[in-house]
Structure 1
Amino acid sequence: MLAKGSEPWLFTATFITALFAVLSRAMNSSHLNHVAYIAMAMTFFMVLFFRDPERKVEVSDTYMISPADGTVIDIRGRKICIFMFLQNVHVNRAPISGKIREITYKKGGYLPAFCKDSERNERNEFIIHSKYGDVSVMQIAGTIARRIVSYSRVNDNIEQGQRIGMIRLGSRVDVTIPHDFEIIVRKGERVLAGKTIIATIKK
């Protein structure tokens, strides 16, 4: 399955690949043939990047799940920071069920997403009102990723694991954990959106 909104990107990449392939044959040009192979590799990369595999999500109000694929690069108090590498799936999912109370988009710079100063970058914040209080999911753009996409809207009722948006070409997602939960992931741990449990309800 491919991510929502990927069609124009893939169509353009496929068209360019086909164009150079036809031209290289028509003109018998080795240079154009090389360009066609490069375009083909880029098309493959686009398919890899825009993939959006189906994942069976076990919905529960006793734990929170990761909103993004990637690696936990920092835990600051109640905030978990997840860095998404280029090879990761870039579709983001709801860590908890609730209602989207607010979505705030802010323009900004494009510093590396793992830097502390990246909080000045382009970003998009979802405030999900859950039975345990408000949960913030912050999408932060990086040096390559310059397009944050939101699938959900204010007042949408969302289920844990539901797709809420994506960030194109690698970046970071921060999620705040309510005080009713205990954080169980550690810095350096790899996580999967909709699958990895990052916090459990306190007993």
Structure 2
Amino acid sequence: MFHREGQKIILTTFFIVCAIILVSQFYVDIMWLRWGLQLLAVVLLILILQFFRNPTRRAAKTFDEILAPVDGKVVVIEEVEETEYFNDRRRQVSIFMSPTNVHVTRYPASGSVKFSKYHPGKYLVAWHPKSSTENERTTVVIRTPKFGDILYRQIAGALARRIVNYAEIGESVQQGEDAGFIKFGSRVDLFLPLDCAVTVKLNQKVVGAKTCIAAVVKKDEEGEIAY
């Protein structure tokens, strides 16, 4: 299954690949060159199909957990000052996506969309410290029953030049559902309350709509923290 954002580019690439194969078959006499061109064309199509793949995932919906919004690797876990919406201290968890990862963005939690804004910007490499505030990006805030307001930010990388965001202010969203797409390498930042329990580690690989990023802190009868 492929994401709808890739339909046009997949179709265009398919016709280009077919044209390359046909032209090389009839007009390129050197056998190794003909086979090389055809092989490169097929590899290009496979790469495009791989990038826009959209595996079906059904999140085990829970209000007590924040799930990974994307596939990738955790590159930041730190306490920061979030200045666009909250203007206070938040726990930031950032996930970097390489071009080989699934690039579908999924809602990390169920709730209602309170804020959704697109920002044009630069195209610094996605792991650059300033990419979160200077790159092309979208910011979405979801009001959740257990965590209060949480924020996630789609950030374009050096190769990504288009972010797709489906979140609209006022709509109700469900954890794990399709929230958008970022093309060709990028990053997603989560800004969570300080009193939640982050359940991932640096450099850990996560799976969108599957891996728990943070959980509600619970206490047992003796007042000890129990997740």
TM-score by length of 1: 0.95
What aligned pairs does 1:129-148 form with structure 2 within 5 A after superposition? 129-131=143-145, 132-148=147-163
Instruction: Compute the displacement of 1:23 (Å).
Output: 0.8
Shift of 1:33: 4.7
Q: CA RMSD in A?
A: 1.4
Q: Give the AA of the match of 1:159.
A: Q
Q: Which moved more, 1:153-162 or 1:167-176?
A: 153-162
* Structure 1 counterpart of 2:93: 80
- CA offset digits 1:129-156 (Å, max 9, x no partner): 2123211110001111111011332222
Q: CA contact under 8 A between 1:90 and 1:167: conserved in structure 2? A: yes
Q: Secondary structure at the match of 1:46?
A: helix
Q: How far off its partner does 1:79 sit? A: 0.8
Distance 1:29 1:133, change over 3 A: farther
Task: Give SS of 1:45's match.
Answer: helix
2:44 aligned to which of 39, 42, 45: 42
Which residue is equivalent to 1:115?
A: 128
Please give the residue correspondences for 1:61-76 in structure 2 after superposition, counting only pairs within 5 Å: 61-76=63-78
Q: Which runs of 5+ in 2 are unaligned?
A: 80-90, 219-227
Q: Which segment is superposed worse, 129-138 or 164-173?
A: 129-138
Structure 1 gaps, min length 5: none
Shift in Å at residue 173 of structure 1? 0.2
Shift of 1:102: 1.6
Cross-structure match for 1:24: 24
1:56-113 deviation digits (Å, cap 9, x = unpaired) = 2100011111111100001121010100011110001111101111211111111110
Aligned to 1:3: 3
The answer as to 2:126 corresponding to 1:126 is no
Q: Aligned letter for 1:90?
A: H
1:180 CA displacement: 4.6
* 3-state SS in 2 of match to 1:134: strand
AA at the equivalent of 2:24: S
How far apart in 2 are the matches of 1:70 and 1:38?
27
Counterpart amino acid of residue 40 in structure 1: V
Range that drifts further, 8-17 or 35-44 = 35-44
Secondary structure at 1:6 match in 2: helix
Tell me which structure has the larger Cα radius of gyration: 2
Kept after mapping to 2: 8 A contact 1:63/1:181: no
Q: How far, CA to CA, are the matches of 1:194 and 1:6 in structure 2?
A: 20
The alignment of Structure 1 onto Structure 2 pairs a total of residues equal to 203
Normalization by structure 2: what TM-score?
Answer: 0.85
Structure 1 residue 53 and structure 2 residue 68: aligned? no
